[in-house]
């Protein structure tokens, strides 16, 4: 049982480190890079909306996509 707990703790730590790295990269990106990243994330959300069968998971994806689309719209408006 201890080994399983340690393994899970290691996975959690790796995930935290990865999330930290991603957050740091996002801080350094330009507006154009952020717009491109948002477009890719929206595309991924649309894909998962189609693939996911569980209603709750699908609703989360739809909410995430709408939030990303709003961020993208604000950035594009700001850019113009």
The residue extents of the domains of the chain are 2-79
pLDDT of residue 70: 92
Buried b (16+ CB within 10 A) or exposed e, 1-28: eeeeeeeeeeeeeeeeeeeeeeeeeeee
CA 19 to CA 28: how far, in whole Å?
Answer: 15
pLDDT, tens digit only, all 80 positions of the chain: 566 666 766 666 667 767 777 777 777 778 888 888 889 988 888 888 887 777 777 788 888 888 889 999 998 888 77
pTM check: above 0.85: no
CA 10 to CA 49: how far, in whole Å?
Answer: 30
pLDDT of residue 19: 75
pLDDT of residue 37: 86
């Amino acid at each position: 049982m201890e080994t399983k707990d340690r393994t899970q703790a290691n996975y959690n730590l790796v995930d935290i480190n990865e999330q930290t790295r991603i957050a740091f990269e996002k801080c350094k990106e330009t507006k154009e890079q952020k717009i491109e990243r948002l477009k890719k994330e929206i595309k991924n959300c649309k894909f998962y909306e189609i693939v996911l069968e569980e209603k709750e998971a699908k609703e989360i994806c739809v909410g995430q996509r709408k939030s990303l689309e709003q961020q993208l719209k604000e950035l594009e408006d700001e850019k113009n």
